[in-house]
Amino acid sequence: MHQGVTAWGGLRKGAGGASWPALQIGDLRVPSPIVQGGMAVGISLSGLASAVANAGGIGVIATAGIGWDEPDFETNFREANIRALRRHIRIARAQSNGVLGVNIMVALTNYDDLAATAVEEGVDIIFSGAGLPLTLPKFTQGANSPKLAPIVSSGRAADIVCRKWRSHYKRLPDVVVVEGPKAGGHLGFKPEQIDRQEYALGKILPEVLETLAPYEALAGRPIPVIAAGGVYSGADVWSMLRLGAAGCQMGTRFVATEECDASDNFKQSYLAAKKEDIQIIQSPVGLPGRAIANCLTREAAKGSRMPGRCLLNCLKSCTGPKACFCISARLIQARCGDVLEGLVFAGENAWRVNEIVSVPELMDSLAQEYESRELMERASLILEIGREAASPA
């Protein structure tokens, strides 16, 4: 089990000596406070994850439909995905000595297979959402257990996970991801909640921190919280850390990198998107999702049915042949370059992307933006102290 790296050459200190803090998760030290979000199908695989890990963040392999390019994906779904997950973890390990994780959706029918395989392959951390990962610890008993990171969208959900894990497994999360409604892909909110201020990331983050405080006391250790959903710039990272987050998860920014495992057409669709193109759709699995508008989303919005064969039974809540379209097939289409008929999931800020850069360049840019925001805050404090000192008693 990898225990973290101790330095990152890409992080510079500016003239004021400011730099962003490392992310500490138990004995796992991550040089930067950046987690690359898991993006499926086939968007964040070993290529992107290893690059992010090498740049000092947590690189994350998305496991949903990970065997999409295996020859027996449709006929031997379970084994194809297990085989592909092993392959990508091993490739990423060979390419990086940084911190590597996987993202496993609770909604997957092969959740147990993927969790067990990730543990066997010795990943550093498992992120799990799209439902509450109430049984995740059962796969991770023993000294070499990876860190466990449930993904939640409320303090109530964090409390349910903690109570269940403590009661049934005598374990608490090592870190918690709180995802707000500006994220891409499937969202843990009702459609009417997405634009309401009380559900904004800046509102639910403090609620989750407050919920976890008594569990930290019980565990005798910190349970750091990662803020996710709409975090776009280094200044956004600074703001989330000021609110109490230990780090931030970002997905959209990493799509627009040279190392991202998606096709060039997929990446270019982000660059071409306008603000009005980023839309909420109703997914066939019964959840709202955020995607870039195209022919598929427009037909789905009309209520048109575009059925295809459902050979995979990949999601627990999918209605199969009754669904308006097969979400796995459409995600694979998009990943492979058909961005008109495929489903292109994207975060709310995807329209702001204007160039494709390397992962090291992106991480360096985020660090500089964070540093600039920190230096602005310091300058503001110095001015305030000066005004107070100059004012008459």
Region of residue 243 (left: phi > 0; alpha: psi -120 to 50; beta: else): alpha
Q: Where are the alpha helices (DSSP H) in the chain?
A: 46-54, 77-95, 111-120, 155-169, 201-219, 234-242, 252-255, 264-272, 295-301, 327-335, 359-390
Q: Dump pLDDT digits (tens) for 192-248.
A: 999 999 999 999 999 999 999 999 999 999 999 999 999 999 999 999 999 999 999
The strand pair at 176-179 and 225-228 is best described as parallel
Q: What angle do CA 318, 321, 326 make, to 5 degrees?
A: 60
- pLDDT score recorded for residue 115: 96
Contacts for 161 with CB less than 8 Å, ≥ 6 apart: 132, 133, 134, 150, 152, 173, 176
Q: Which residue has the higher pLDDT, 119 or 381?
A: 119
Q: Dump pLDDT digits (tens) for 254-310.
A: 999 999 999 999 999 999 999 999 999 988 878 899 999 999 999 888 877 666 666
Residue 35 CB neighbours (<10 A): 30
b/e code 355-374 from CB counts within 10 Å (16+ = b)? ebbebbebbbebbebbbbbb
- Helical axes 46-54 vs 77-95, angle rounded to 10°: 30
Ordered by where they begin, the domains of the chain are 23-263 (3.20.20.70), 266-335 (no CATH)
Q: Is 152 helix (H, G, I), strand (E, B) or coil?
A: strand
Tell me the residue type at 389.
Answer: A
Portion of the chain with pLDDT greater than 90, in percent = 79
Q: Dump pLDDT digits (tens) for 3-47.
A: 443 333 344 443 334 489 999 999 999 999 999 999 999 999 999
Q: Dump pLDDT digits (tens) for 35-46.
A: 999 999 999 999
Contacts for 224 with CB less than 8 Å, ≥ 6 apart: 23, 24, 25, 175, 176, 245, 246, 247
Q: How far apart are CA 241 and CA 369, in angstroms?
A: 14
- pLDDT score recorded for residue 86: 98
| C-alpha torsion 62→67→69→73, nearest 10 | -150
Q: pTM, whole model, 2 decimals? A: 0.91
